[in-house]
Amino acid sequence: MTKPTITITYCTGCNWLLRSGWLAQEILSTFTADIGAVTLVPNDLGGIFEVRLDGELIWERKRDGGFPDARTLKALIRDKIDPDRDLGHIDRHGISA
């Protein structure tokens, strides 16, 4: 079975590489054995920031009102690849990632 892949497309002109890299690191540290790859895709289209899981758009900066925090993004990914998985402390209310 092929493991899911995540693609983060970010605007180079907006200097969102560090944010994208940080989110990629958070995803990889949480879903180490569950995903096949996290790919960063630089793009010069003004203001683009998208996260896709196997090609499906799960976060878009303009549509979703900004950038996801790690907690939100991890929950979105978990809900798609393993809905019964407990994400530990980030699933507890009142604690932010």
- Domains contained in the chain, number: 1
Q: Confirm whether 76 is domain-assigned.
A: yes
CATH no. for residue 73? 3.40.30.10
Q: Confirm whether 50 is domain-assigned.
A: yes
Q: What distances in angstroms separate CA 58 from CA 13, 18, 68, 70, one per listed residue?
A: 23, 20, 10, 13
From CA 50, how far away is CA 75, in angstroms rounded?
16
Q: Confirm whether 40 is domain-assigned.
A: yes
Q: Are 2 and 81 in contact (CB under 8 A)?
A: no
User: Model confidence over 52-93: pLDDT tens digits?
Assistant: 999 999 999 999 999 999 999 999 999 999 888 888 867 665
Give the range of the structural domain holding residue 31, as residue numbers without chain letter: 5-91
Q: Confirm whether 96 is domain-assigned.
A: no
Kindly tell me the sign of the dihedral angle through the C-alpha atoms of 14, 73, 61, 44.
positive
Q: Confirm whether 67 is domain-assigned.
A: yes
From CA 49, how far away is CA 3, in angstroms rounded?
23
Q: Confirm whether 39 is domain-assigned.
A: yes
User: Model confidence over 23-40: pLDDT tens digits?
Assistant: 999 999 999 999 999 999
